[in-house]
Amino acid sequence: MFITRQAEFSAGRVCRSTALSDEQNRALYGPAANPHGHGHNFVFEVTLEGEPDPDTGMVFDLKKLKEIIEREVVGPMDHRFLNQEVPPFDHVIPTTENLAREIWRRIQRHFGGGRVRLHAVRLYETGDLFVDYSGEAG
Amino acid sequence: MMRLTRRYRFSALHRLLAPHLSEGANRALYGKCSNPHGHGHDYLLEVSVRGPVDAASGRVADARALDRLVEEQVLAAFDHQDLNAAMAAVPTTENLALDIRGRLLRSWSSAFRGEWPRLDGVRLGETPRNIIEIKETP
Question: In sequence order, what are the residues at sequence separation of 6 or more whose Cβ sits closer than 8 angstroms to the Cβ of residue A82?
Answer: A11, A12, A13, A89, A94, A99
- Angle (nearest 5°) at CA B95 between B93 and B98: 110
Q: Which residues of A touch B8 (CB under 8 A)?
A: 128
> Where on the phi/psi map is residue A47: left (φ > 0), alpha (ψ -120 to 50), or beta?
beta
CA distance to A53, A89, A105, A137, B2, per residue, from B58 (Å): 39, 11, 16, 18, 11
In terms of CATH, what superfamily is B2-135?
A: 6-pyruvoyl tetrahydropterin synthase/QueD (3.30.479.10)
Active site (annotated) includes residue B136:
no
Condensed to tens digits (0 to 9), the pLDDT of residues B78-129 reads: 999 999 999 999 999 999 999 999 999 999 999 999 999 999 999 999 999 9
CA distance to A13, B41, B105, per residue, from B73 (Å): 32, 19, 10
What is the rounded CA–CA span in Å between residue B129 and residue A107?
A: 33
Name residue B11's beta-bridge partners.
B42
Which residue of B5, B62, B64 is in closest CB contact with A130?
B5
**pTM (2 d.p.):** 0.91
CB B134 within 8 A of CB B121: yes
- CATH number for the domain whose boundaries are A2-133: 3.30.479.10
CB B93 within 8 A of CB B42: no
Active site (annotated) includes residue B72:
no
Q: How confident is the model at residue B6 (pLDDT cuts 50, 70, 90)?
A: very high
What is the rounded CA–CA span in Å between residue B103 and residue B70?
A: 9
Active site (annotated) includes residue B39:
no
pLDDT of residue A113: 76
pLDDT of residue A138: 67
Is 90 exceeded by the pLDDT of residue A27?
yes
Which residue of B2, B56, B64 is in closest CB contact with A133?
B2
Q: Which residues of B touch A132 (CB under 8 A)?
A: 2-3, 5, 48
Condensed to tens digits (0 to 9), the pLDDT of residues B21-42 reads: 999 999 999 999 999 999 999 9
Name residue B43's beta-bridge partners.
B10
Interface pTM (ipTM) of the complex? 0.86
